[in-house]
Structure 1
Amino acid sequence: MKKLVAVLLVSALGATATAQEISSYSQYKINEGVSVEVKKLKRVEQYGWDNFEVVYRLKNNTDFDLFKLDLTLYLVDKHDREVGTVEIHDFKVPKNSDEEYHYVDLHSPYVNEKFDKIVVVKNNIEVQVDTPRAVSIAKINCEPTFSMK
Protein backbone atom coordinates (compact mmCIF):
# COMPACT_ATOMS: atom_id res chain seq x y z
CA MET A 1 0.00 0.00 0.00
CA LYS A 2 2.84 2.39 0.87
CA LYS A 3 4.49 1.68 -2.49
CA LEU A 4 1.25 2.47 -4.31
CA VAL A 5 0.87 5.78 -2.46
CA ALA A 6 4.51 6.64 -3.21
CA VAL A 7 4.08 5.86 -6.91
CA LEU A 8 0.92 7.98 -7.10
CA LEU A 9 2.60 10.86 -5.28
CA VAL A 10 5.65 10.77 -7.58
CA SER A 11 3.36 10.60 -10.64
CA ALA A 12 1.34 13.59 -9.46
CA LEU A 13 4.47 15.61 -8.73
CA GLY A 14 5.92 14.70 -12.14
CA ALA A 15 2.76 15.82 -13.94
CA THR A 16 2.72 19.07 -11.97
CA ALA A 17 6.37 19.76 -12.73
CA THR A 18 5.87 19.05 -16.41
CA ALA A 19 2.82 21.30 -16.61
CA GLN A 20 4.76 24.12 -14.97
CA GLU A 21 7.34 24.11 -17.79
CA ILE A 22 5.08 26.38 -19.85
CA SER A 23 6.04 29.94 -19.04
CA SER A 24 3.60 32.82 -18.78
CA TYR A 25 4.88 34.19 -22.06
CA SER A 26 4.35 30.81 -23.75
CA GLN A 27 0.80 30.76 -22.40
CA TYR A 28 0.25 34.22 -23.87
CA LYS A 29 1.66 33.11 -27.25
CA ILE A 30 -0.56 30.00 -27.25
CA ASN A 31 -3.62 32.11 -26.46
CA GLU A 32 -2.73 34.53 -29.27
CA GLY A 33 -1.89 31.71 -31.69
CA VAL A 34 -5.31 30.08 -31.48
CA SER A 35 -7.97 31.90 -33.49
CA VAL A 36 -11.56 31.15 -34.43
CA GLU A 37 -13.58 32.60 -37.29
CA VAL A 38 -17.29 31.80 -37.57
CA LYS A 39 -18.11 31.23 -41.24
CA LYS A 40 -21.79 30.39 -40.97
CA LEU A 41 -24.43 30.00 -38.27
CA LYS A 42 -27.74 28.79 -39.58
CA ARG A 43 -30.93 27.20 -38.38
CA VAL A 44 -31.49 23.62 -39.52
CA GLU A 45 -34.48 21.41 -38.83
CA GLN A 46 -33.43 17.88 -38.14
CA TYR A 47 -34.93 14.98 -36.19
CA GLY A 48 -38.14 16.95 -35.65
CA TRP A 49 -36.67 19.96 -33.84
CA ASP A 50 -34.69 23.09 -34.60
CA ASN A 51 -30.92 23.15 -34.31
CA PHE A 52 -28.06 25.56 -34.94
CA GLU A 53 -25.39 24.47 -37.37
CA VAL A 54 -22.11 26.30 -36.90
CA VAL A 55 -19.36 26.26 -39.52
CA TYR A 56 -16.12 27.79 -38.26
CA ARG A 57 -12.42 27.90 -39.06
CA LEU A 58 -10.05 27.06 -36.23
CA LYS A 59 -6.40 28.03 -36.62
CA ASN A 60 -3.80 26.65 -34.24
CA ASN A 61 -0.64 28.59 -35.08
CA THR A 62 1.33 27.15 -32.16
CA ASP A 63 3.87 24.37 -31.67
CA PHE A 64 1.50 22.56 -29.29
CA ASP A 65 -1.26 20.06 -29.94
CA LEU A 66 -4.47 21.30 -28.35
CA PHE A 67 -6.04 18.64 -26.16
CA LYS A 68 -9.22 20.65 -25.55
CA LEU A 69 -10.56 24.06 -26.55
CA ASP A 70 -13.73 25.58 -25.05
CA LEU A 71 -15.49 28.35 -26.97
CA THR A 72 -18.62 30.37 -26.32
CA LEU A 73 -20.46 32.13 -29.14
CA TYR A 74 -22.61 35.01 -27.92
CA LEU A 75 -25.45 36.00 -30.22
CA VAL A 76 -25.96 39.77 -30.01
CA ASP A 77 -28.87 41.79 -31.42
CA LYS A 78 -28.77 45.25 -33.00
CA HIS A 79 -29.21 46.87 -29.56
CA ASP A 80 -26.06 45.11 -28.26
CA ARG A 81 -28.05 42.74 -26.06
CA GLU A 82 -27.19 39.07 -25.75
CA VAL A 83 -30.04 36.96 -27.13
CA GLY A 84 -28.40 33.53 -26.91
CA THR A 85 -25.26 31.46 -26.58
CA VAL A 86 -23.73 28.41 -28.22
CA GLU A 87 -20.98 26.45 -26.44
CA ILE A 88 -18.46 24.49 -28.49
CA HIS A 89 -15.82 22.06 -27.24
CA ASP A 90 -13.07 20.88 -29.60
CA PHE A 91 -10.69 18.03 -28.83
CA LYS A 92 -7.39 16.91 -30.36
CA VAL A 93 -6.57 19.91 -32.56
CA PRO A 94 -3.14 19.35 -34.18
CA LYS A 95 -0.37 21.93 -33.95
CA ASN A 96 0.10 24.34 -36.86
CA SER A 97 -3.31 23.50 -38.29
CA ASP A 98 -5.94 25.52 -40.13
CA GLU A 99 -9.16 23.54 -40.52
CA GLU A 100 -12.87 24.10 -40.98
CA TYR A 101 -15.19 22.43 -38.47
CA HIS A 102 -18.93 21.80 -38.32
CA TYR A 103 -20.85 21.73 -35.05
CA VAL A 104 -24.57 21.20 -34.46
CA ASP A 105 -26.14 22.62 -31.29
CA LEU A 106 -29.04 20.20 -30.86
CA HIS A 107 -32.45 21.49 -29.84
CA SER A 108 -31.16 25.02 -29.25
CA PRO A 109 -33.63 27.37 -27.56
CA TYR A 110 -32.14 30.33 -29.46
CA VAL A 111 -32.79 29.32 -33.08
CA ASN A 112 -35.68 31.76 -33.50
CA GLU A 113 -33.85 34.75 -32.02
CA LYS A 114 -32.83 37.60 -34.30
CA PHE A 115 -29.15 38.48 -33.96
CA ASP A 116 -26.86 40.81 -35.87
CA LYS A 117 -23.42 39.72 -34.73
CA ILE A 118 -21.60 36.84 -33.12
CA VAL A 119 -19.00 37.37 -30.40
CA VAL A 120 -16.51 34.50 -30.05
CA VAL A 121 -14.85 34.01 -26.65
CA LYS A 122 -12.09 31.48 -25.92
CA ASN A 123 -12.77 30.19 -22.41
CA ASN A 124 -10.20 27.48 -21.88
CA ILE A 125 -7.29 25.94 -23.75
CA GLU A 126 -5.60 22.72 -22.69
CA VAL A 127 -2.37 21.85 -24.51
CA GLN A 128 -0.47 18.60 -24.69
CA VAL A 129 3.11 18.95 -23.48
CA ASP A 130 5.58 16.30 -24.65
CA THR A 131 8.85 16.08 -22.74
CA PRO A 132 11.43 13.30 -22.53
CA ARG A 133 10.06 12.41 -19.09
CA ALA A 134 6.32 12.40 -19.73
CA VAL A 135 3.33 13.61 -21.65
CA SER A 136 1.02 15.90 -19.73
CA ILE A 137 -1.80 18.36 -20.20
CA ALA A 138 -1.35 22.02 -19.28
CA LYS A 139 -4.33 24.31 -18.84
CA ILE A 140 -4.10 27.83 -20.25
CA ASN A 141 -6.46 30.32 -18.65
CA CYS A 142 -7.57 32.63 -21.41
CA GLU A 143 -8.00 36.32 -20.95
CA PRO A 144 -11.21 37.18 -22.76
CA THR A 145 -10.43 37.90 -26.39
CA PHE A 146 -13.28 38.81 -28.63
CA SER A 147 -13.73 38.50 -32.34
CA MET A 148 -16.92 39.66 -33.98
CA LYS A 149 -18.58 38.70 -37.21
Structure 2
Amino acid sequence: MSTDRKTLKIVSIIQFVLGIVTFIFGAILLAGAGLAEGDPISFVGAEFDPVTWAIINGVAFDVLGVLQIICAVLGIHGANRPSALGSHFLFAAIVIIVAVIAGIISSALGEFSMPTLIVVVAGIALSGAVFDKRVRKELDR
Protein backbone atom coordinates (compact mmCIF):
# COMPACT_ATOMS: atom_id res chain seq x y z
CA MET A 1 0.00 0.00 0.00
CA SER A 2 1.44 3.37 -1.02
CA THR A 3 1.87 6.37 1.22
CA ASP A 4 -1.03 8.20 -0.44
CA ARG A 5 -3.37 5.26 0.08
CA LYS A 6 -2.32 4.97 3.73
CA THR A 7 -2.84 8.70 4.21
CA LEU A 8 -6.27 8.54 2.56
CA LYS A 9 -7.22 5.66 4.85
CA ILE A 10 -6.07 7.48 8.01
CA VAL A 11 -7.81 10.71 6.95
CA SER A 12 -10.97 8.75 6.14
CA ILE A 13 -10.98 6.99 9.52
CA ILE A 14 -10.59 10.33 11.30
CA GLN A 15 -13.31 11.79 9.07
CA PHE A 16 -15.62 8.90 9.97
CA VAL A 17 -15.24 9.65 13.67
CA LEU A 18 -15.70 13.37 12.99
CA GLY A 19 -18.83 12.61 10.96
CA ILE A 20 -20.35 10.78 13.92
CA VAL A 21 -19.41 13.65 16.25
CA THR A 22 -20.87 16.19 13.79
CA PHE A 23 -24.10 14.22 13.51
CA ILE A 24 -24.40 14.05 17.32
CA PHE A 25 -23.66 17.80 17.48
CA GLY A 26 -26.49 18.44 15.01
CA ALA A 27 -28.84 16.17 16.97
CA ILE A 28 -28.07 18.12 20.15
CA LEU A 29 -28.80 21.36 18.31
CA LEU A 30 -32.12 19.95 17.10
CA ALA A 31 -33.03 18.67 20.56
CA GLY A 32 -32.44 22.08 22.10
CA ALA A 33 -34.01 24.07 19.28
CA GLY A 34 -37.23 24.58 21.19
CA LEU A 35 -35.35 26.43 23.90
CA ALA A 36 -33.95 29.07 21.55
CA GLU A 37 -34.84 32.60 22.58
CA GLY A 38 -34.01 36.07 21.49
CA ASP A 39 -34.64 38.53 18.74
CA PRO A 40 -35.49 37.38 15.22
CA ILE A 41 -32.41 36.63 13.14
CA SER A 42 -32.01 38.55 9.90
CA PHE A 43 -30.19 36.60 7.22
CA VAL A 44 -30.02 37.50 3.51
CA GLY A 45 -32.96 39.87 3.80
CA ALA A 46 -35.25 37.42 5.60
CA GLU A 47 -36.08 37.29 9.29
CA PHE A 48 -36.17 33.97 11.08
CA ASP A 49 -37.55 33.02 14.45
CA PRO A 50 -34.70 31.79 16.74
CA VAL A 51 -36.35 28.36 17.00
CA THR A 52 -36.56 28.03 13.23
CA TRP A 53 -32.97 29.14 12.84
CA ALA A 54 -31.80 26.63 15.48
CA ILE A 55 -33.62 23.88 13.57
CA ILE A 56 -31.95 24.96 10.32
CA ASN A 57 -28.59 24.98 12.09
CA GLY A 58 -29.13 21.48 13.51
CA VAL A 59 -30.23 20.08 10.15
CA ALA A 60 -27.17 21.62 8.45
CA PHE A 61 -24.84 19.87 10.89
CA ASP A 62 -26.73 16.58 10.61
CA VAL A 63 -26.45 16.70 6.81
CA LEU A 64 -22.75 17.52 7.14
CA GLY A 65 -22.25 14.57 9.48
CA VAL A 66 -23.99 12.12 7.14
CA LEU A 67 -22.01 13.38 4.15
CA GLN A 68 -18.75 13.06 6.09
CA ILE A 69 -19.58 9.46 6.99
CA ILE A 70 -20.40 8.63 3.35
CA CYS A 71 -17.20 10.32 2.16
CA ALA A 72 -15.16 8.49 4.80
CA VAL A 73 -16.57 5.09 3.85
CA LEU A 74 -15.83 5.74 0.17
CA GLY A 75 -12.31 6.87 1.11
CA ILE A 76 -11.64 3.75 3.17
CA HIS A 77 -12.85 1.51 0.33
CA GLY A 78 -10.79 3.49 -2.17
CA ALA A 79 -7.68 3.27 -0.03
CA ASN A 80 -8.00 -0.50 0.07
CA ARG A 81 -8.78 -0.79 -3.65
CA PRO A 82 -8.30 2.38 -5.75
CA SER A 83 -10.78 1.20 -8.37
CA ALA A 84 -13.48 1.38 -5.66
CA LEU A 85 -13.06 5.14 -5.09
CA GLY A 86 -16.19 5.79 -7.11
CA SER A 87 -17.64 9.21 -6.40
CA HIS A 88 -15.41 9.98 -3.40
CA PHE A 89 -14.14 13.22 -4.93
CA LEU A 90 -17.70 14.43 -5.53
CA PHE A 91 -18.66 13.74 -1.91
CA ALA A 92 -15.42 15.39 -0.71
CA ALA A 93 -16.32 18.54 -2.66
CA ILE A 94 -19.88 18.48 -1.32
CA VAL A 95 -18.55 18.07 2.25
CA ILE A 96 -16.42 21.20 1.79
CA ILE A 97 -19.39 23.20 0.47
CA VAL A 98 -21.78 22.00 3.20
CA ALA A 99 -19.16 22.67 5.90
CA VAL A 100 -18.84 26.27 4.72
CA ILE A 101 -22.65 26.65 4.58
CA ALA A 102 -23.03 25.17 8.08
CA GLY A 103 -20.39 27.59 9.35
CA ILE A 104 -22.16 30.56 7.78
CA ILE A 105 -25.52 29.48 9.20
CA SER A 106 -24.01 28.98 12.64
CA SER A 107 -22.19 32.32 12.59
CA ALA A 108 -25.44 34.12 11.75
CA LEU A 109 -26.57 33.32 15.29
CA GLY A 110 -24.12 36.00 16.41
CA GLU A 111 -21.52 33.77 17.94
CA PHE A 112 -19.16 31.27 16.36
CA SER A 113 -18.50 28.71 19.09
CA MET A 114 -15.37 26.59 19.37
CA PRO A 115 -17.16 23.25 18.65
CA THR A 116 -18.64 24.77 15.51
CA LEU A 117 -15.25 26.06 14.42
CA ILE A 118 -13.65 22.65 14.99
CA VAL A 119 -16.39 20.84 13.07
CA VAL A 120 -16.29 23.23 10.11
CA VAL A 121 -12.50 23.47 9.79
CA ALA A 122 -12.00 19.75 10.28
CA GLY A 123 -14.78 19.01 7.79
CA ILE A 124 -12.98 21.05 5.17
CA ALA A 125 -9.50 19.79 6.01
CA LEU A 126 -10.46 16.13 6.20
CA SER A 127 -12.43 15.98 2.99
CA GLY A 128 -9.69 13.86 1.41
CA ALA A 129 -10.09 15.49 -2.00
CA VAL A 130 -6.33 15.93 -2.44
CA PHE A 131 -5.53 12.33 -1.60
CA ASP A 132 -8.36 11.13 -3.81
CA LYS A 133 -6.61 12.63 -6.84
CA ARG A 134 -3.25 11.12 -5.83
CA VAL A 135 -4.73 7.64 -5.39
CA ARG A 136 -6.52 7.94 -8.75
CA LYS A 137 -3.17 8.72 -10.38
CA GLU A 138 -1.85 5.43 -8.99
CA LEU A 139 -4.76 3.67 -10.62
CA ASP A 140 -3.86 5.16 -14.00
CA ARG A 141 -0.29 3.80 -13.85
TM-score for the superposition, normalised by structure 1: 0.25
By percentage of residues, which structure has more strand?
Answer: 1
Larger radius of gyration: 1
By percentage of residues, which structure has more helix?
Answer: 2
